[in-house]
Chains A and B, each alone.
Chain A
Amino acid sequence: MKRRRAIQTLASAAAALPLLRVPLQADELTADQAFVLRDVAATVLPSAIGRRGQDEAVDNFLRWIRDYQEGVPLSHGYGEPRLVKSGPSPTPGYATQLAALQAAAKAKGGRFGALPIADRRALLDEAFKAADVRNLSGRPDGKHVVADLMSHYFRSSGANDLCYNARIGRNTYRAIRVTTVRPQPLGR
């Protein structure tokens, strides 16, 4: 049993390492946790971006976690301004949630990504309800790691382009003339 678990751990670590393009630090997600996230990403991110696009989305999210700063003033707002600072790092909570998700998946029979879609949906539904996740927030808000991965991707400029199948490039550098015509479809 111990030997089988050791092999499983080694296998998961080995599988994770080639995909781990974001250098992680001690207080961030571990390689194992990043591997679980990648496994979940295949379910919660669109297939249209391919496995590589999903991995990039996870990389971008891991980078977001790594660069998160605590206690930084957030936008004061306009009209009725107030001083709000960023909260503590979401990493510890994320780690706990990934462990719980992994354990729940195991209880259902194995790796999250290998479960029937109904089971995957049920697990996430339960996790989101427990974390009071009601919708995709404008940007990750620390409530649940998977919902935050989804927010980070689906609220991105790239996802906006994918939704409209158009090269809009929201909030990225663009020549003004490019925006004066109907955006080109993706892939051209």
Chain B
Amino acid sequence: MPVHESDVCVIGGGITAAMLIERLAELQPGLRITVIEAGRSIFDRENRGTYHRRALEYGEHPWHDDYIEDQQAKGMISMTMAVGGQALHWGGACNRFSEEDLRLKSMYGLSDDWPLEWNELERCYVEAERRLNVAGDPSPYPEDRRSGPYPQQAMPLSYNLQVLKKWAEQSGLKFSPLPLSRNIDKPFGGRGACGLYDTCGDVCPTGARYSPDYTYQQLIAAKKVTLHDRMLVRKLVLAEGKDTIASAQGYHQDRPNEITEYRARMFVLASGQCWSPHVLLLSASSRFPNGLANRSGMVGRYMNGHKFISAQATIDEQTFPGQNMTHSLISREHFRCATDRPFVRHDTRVWESSAGKEPRLRGADGRLLLGDELLDEWRSRARKGSSVRLRAYYDSHPSAESRLTLDPAAKNRYGDPMPKIDRQLDAASQAREGATLAHVTELFERMARAGNGRLVSKPSNSTYWDHPAGGCRMGTDPSTSVCDSFGRTHDHENLFVIGAPTLPTGGVTNGTLTFVAVSLRSANRIAEVS
């Protein structure tokens, strides 16, 4: 049996692991760090221009073989499993949560507080933004104070977004450019500057939008980490007679019958909100019959994220769809909610849109349109006002029954049951669903009316929870949480869980920056104890 030894063994090769390893290597030079990733490395940046073109022309997935067909979960929002993880194809949104997210219980009597002071998280945000080279403008809301500036000024607003900002602010809300992890006008971190291909969520040909594969290549080249890809960790093994972790058992995709044993002083689970709790549950033993780190029974519970409400509006102002469709405006007006008012928290987002402005094959009377007729009919709709895409991610607190469980009906090639995620709101969140929808609908209608526009579709709730997190939530009480605020598991002193799984609640805006910020905080503690 091959045996691999290191000081720190990181399981999972996504964005939080990349940031954690980069930080650890700075704090403890010489630390032997191994990262194990079930998926493959896709280090072929020279082909990304081609992938961009083929994604546009053929709808092809630009990240070839970035999934493992028999290693999928019910309730996952992305199939990607590769070095870099889902941040290979994220939009780069880097919004901060707000202090209210950490104080839901003490301020509103809802859900739970985080075992973390806002000021400390805020400093980690600054560090995360520096590493991700975030481009942003200071928030117009004084409550969003910062202890450090953004590394870059915000992505300049396109003409379209300038028009939409003017329109949206007539409602009384203040909007800012969405903070983005994107090199605006010069290279950074081995990645190029933005060429506005506008396919950030699929593939960025220049690498301007942060992508962890660049970080891994740099760390590997500098011999700061050893990467074992295509290696699935199926189990963590306890040390004989102790509660510490002795090893991780890996199985290479090409050698399914051979166990590779990874021994380390410290283990870090960085496999995201799905696969982190999953491997803990799979690692059940006679001493931990419900899975590792699970004396509390909390592993796989409080799966969170947030639901969202979307709508389309039309307004009189003319825009030109296609200028920068992946960029958006954000208002943090409703990040706060007065404690004496009905609880509702959400962000408010505005994008340019071409909805309803696409070319059509037939006229309103059903007649087939050809050539000039088709163009004329298209122009008559496209040049009359604009479509606007609206969205609000809203506070969606999970119940304890919002769970990831092992699904005996779906197994991988080894016979391991795959995860099944069933997210559930807690009773208070469930009770205010109607009021939240009514509030957001009223807001969207007010925004549309202010610009002499109207909603063209009834705002509706999402069918899935976006920016998922949870499953190994942090807390001070070992009976109600899996790990402490640094991600150190209550049950195993040399096992940390980092990033998304540790969040007690999922906030009201994109989560990646927060996942990275708490992981950097974990890195500081791991460096101390390593």
Query: Which residues from chain A sit less than 8 Å from chain B, CB to CB?
Result: 42-48, 64, 67-69, 72-76, 78-83, 86, 117, 120-121, 124-125, 128, 133-136, 138-139, 147, 150, 154-155, 157, 159-160, 162-164, 166, 168-177, 179-183
Query: Which residues from chain B sit less than 8 Å from chain A, CB to CB?
Result: 55-61, 64, 67, 69, 76-80, 155-159, 162, 184-185, 194-199, 201-202, 320-325, 358-362, 368, 370-372, 374-375, 378-379, 382-383, 462-464, 466
Q: How far is the CB of A41 from chain B (nearest CB, A)?
A: 9
What's the Cα separation between A183 and B196 when bound, in Å?
Answer: 15
What's the Cα separation between A136 and B361 when bound, in Å?
Answer: 6
B323 pairs with A120, CB closer than 8 A? no
The listed residue (B60, B162, B201) touching A72 by CB distance below 8 A is B60
The residues of A that contact B464 with a CB separation of less than 8 Å are 79-80
The residues of A that contact B79 with a CB separation of less than 8 Å are 76, 81-83
The residues of A that contact B198 with a CB separation of less than 8 Å are 170-171
The listed residue (B157, B158, B359) touching A159 by CB distance below 8 A is B359
**A-B pairs with lowest CB-CB distance, top 4:** A170-B322, A154-B359, A46-B375, A179-B158
What's the Cα separation between A67 and B54 when bound, in Å?
Answer: 9
The residues of A that contact B370 with a CB separation of less than 8 Å are 43-44, 117, 120-121, 124
Q: A43-B371, A80-B77 in contact; A173/B463 too (CB < 8 A)?
A: no
| Closest residue on chain B to residue A45 by CB atoms | B371
The listed residue (B58, B69, B77) touching A83 by CB distance below 8 A is B69
Q: How far is the CB of A6 from chain B (nearest CB, A)?
A: 32
The interface residues of chain B, by DSSP majority, are classed as loop
Q: How far is the CB of B382 from chain A (nearest CB, A)?
A: 5
A162 pairs with B375, CB closer than 8 A? yes
Q: Which of B162, B359, B362 has the most CB of A within 10 A?
A: B359
A124 pairs with B368, CB closer than 8 A? yes
The residues of A that contact B462 with a CB separation of less than 8 Å are 79
What's the Cα separation between A57 and B69 when bound, in Å?
Answer: 38
The residues of B that contact A160 with a CB separation of less than 8 Å are 321-322
What's the Cα separation between A164 and B372 when bound, in Å?
Answer: 14
| Closest residue on chain B to residue A134 by CB atoms | B361
Q: Which of A42, A136, A139, A157 has the most CB of B within 10 A?
A: A136
| Closest residue on chain A to residue B185 by CB atoms | A176
Q: A76-B80, A136-B359, A154-B374 are known contacts; what are 19 more A-B pairs with Cβ within 8 Å?
A: A45-B371, A48-B372, A69-B58, A69-B60, A75-B55, A76-B61, A76-B78, A83-B69, A86-B60, A121-B370, A124-B368, A124-B370, A128-B361, A164-B382, A164-B383, A169-B322, A171-B197, A179-B158, A179-B324
